[in-house]
Amino acid sequence: MLKYSKWLILIAIISILAGCVRTQVFKHEDVVFNKNTNDKILLMPIDIELYKKNFISGRLVHRADWTKAAVGHVKQAVIQELKSRYYQTIMYSEDSKVSDSLDKHYQLIRLHEEIIQSMHTPMHPPSKQGQFDWSLGQDANSLRKEYNADYGLFIVIRGNYTSRFSDQYGFRSGFLSLVDLITGNILWLNRTYWYDFPFSGHGEFRELEATQDSIQSLFDGFPL
């Protein structure tokens, strides 16, 4: 009986850990991906906001230090991931001396964020009338011309952390979008949610090594 109870406890722990990460992958129905390592991928500005969750009130307080560190960690982890896939990564530059189309690019980034916000319901797929069919429009072609890139990679991460001794759990969400810079269509998207439960450390972006593990979840099903 005791041995059986130990197995029940083990199964419960495994079930909790398995439920800490939820990943969903979507792709444009009309696209067939052909892997070509000569394709260049433009890494757009990484959009991250991290908060500390008060363990008593549940109030969220923005942590600029966590956010800044996470941007650096995610950028490094993404570059390493693409390098392991033999793709050339081009970094988007916000230097006005480099780009003469910043306003147009900011509008694209803002549009992508708005699209992501419309997908931010775990129980509903990111679709329009039952189809995954989203686009940033023809203005995305300006990125292709300026950077000589084939695809744009957009990353949005939101989340909070709380004390490990709190009975309130933290939560993070991450979106990784692959955009065709000719048409502006979002070709592929990974939507991942990380839930804090006892014994879990998923969705950690404040430390580089843990970020690398979290980024692998976002690249799950990456088509290139």
Q: Where are the domains of the chain?
A: 2-218
pLDDT tens by residue, 28-76: 877 777 777 788 999 999 999 999 988 777 789 999 999 999 999 999 9
pLDDT at 21: 80
Secondary structure class of 186 (helix, strand, coil)? strand
Q: State how far the Cα of 73 lies from the Cα of 212, in Å rounded to an integer.
A: 8
pLDDT tens by residue, 68-94: 999 999 999 999 999 999 898 999 987
Q: How far is CA 209 from CA 35, 76, 203, 204, in A?
A: 28, 10, 11, 9
Count Cβ atoms within 10 A of the Cβ of residue 104 and give its class: 0-12 exposed, 13-18 middle, 19 or more buried.
Answer: middle
pLDDT tens by residue, 140-186: 999 999 999 999 999 999 999 886 655 567 889 999 999 999 999 99
pLDDT at 196: 77
pLDDT tens by residue, 126-138: 555 667 888 999 9
CATH architecture of the domain formed by 2-218: 2-Layer Sandwich (3.30)
* Neighbouring residues of 116: CB distance < 8 A, sequence distance ≥ 6: 156, 175, 177
Among 119, 135, 112, 145, residue whose Cα is nearest residue 42: 145
pLDDT at 152: 97
Tokens read off for 68 = 């800044």
pTM for the full model? 0.83
